[in-house]
């Protein structure tokens, strides 16, 4: 990764905090996409880094089982979504934002509004109210941004660099979470 890569600092910080890992050979793969299971695992890592008492124990049948169990228990994956949840499918920017928003809401964390202004993203017009609120809240807290002043690109697949940046900003915003 080049020294001037836009997300290098966030990736390094997220790695130091144990939130993300590499892909081997001392590489991160910042432009690689993420699956739903990978995002939930990163969120679980972030949560248990500050709340080790919530770490699940016991044998897992796969690498993401504890993260998925935690996500279901905390309504990050809602009951009506469980049967259609595909852990190996790519995660969109919208889905990741909603998962993180549900974690923040469920854990009763207050989103710090840093910026009173909100850019209306035209591509959120036909999205759910939950999606709109998640994006608005995280945008005002300077945790996420759009791909332009009027586009969030909710259906675009999330990259590893984007997720590391979001997680690093969440940790900075909440401190101890």
DSSP-assigned letters across all residues of 117-146: --PPPGGGTTS-HHHHHHHHHHHHTTS---
Give me the residue spans of the domains in the chain.
8-174
Which pLDDT band holds residue 176 (cuts at 50, 70, 90)? very low
For 161, the token pair is 């660099």
Between 98 and 19, the more confident residue is: 98
Q: What is the rounded distance in angstroms from the CA atom of residue 26 to the CA atom of residue 16? A: 14
Q: What is the rounded distance in angstroms from the CA atom of residue 129 to the CA atom of residue 81? A: 17
Q: What is the pLDDT of residues 81-134, one digit of tens each?
A: 988 989 999 999 999 999 999 998 887 777 776 666 667 789 999 999 999 999
């Amino acid at each position: 990764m080049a020294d001037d890569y836009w997300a290098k600092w966030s990736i390094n910080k997220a790695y130091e905090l144990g939130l993300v890992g590499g892909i081997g050979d001392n590489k991160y793969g910042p432009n690689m996409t993420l699956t739903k299971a990978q995002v939930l695992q990163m969120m679980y890592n972030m949560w248990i880094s500050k709340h080790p008492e919530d770490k699940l124990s016991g044998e897992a049948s796969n690498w993401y089982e504890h993260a998925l169990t935690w996500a279901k228990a905390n309504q990050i994956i809602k009951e009506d979504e469980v049967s259609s949840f595909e852990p190996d499918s790519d995660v969109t920017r919208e889905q990741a934002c909603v998962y993180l928003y549900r974690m923040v809401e469920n854990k009763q964390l207050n989103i710090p509004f840093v910026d009173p202004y909100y850019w209306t993203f035209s591509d959120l017009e036909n999205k759910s109210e939950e999606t709109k609120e998640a994006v608005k809240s995280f945008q005002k807290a300077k945790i996420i941004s759009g791909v332009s002043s009027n586009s969030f690109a909710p259906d675009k697949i999330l990259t590893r660099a984007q997720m590391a940046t979001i997680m690093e900003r969440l940790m900075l915003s909440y401190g101890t979470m």
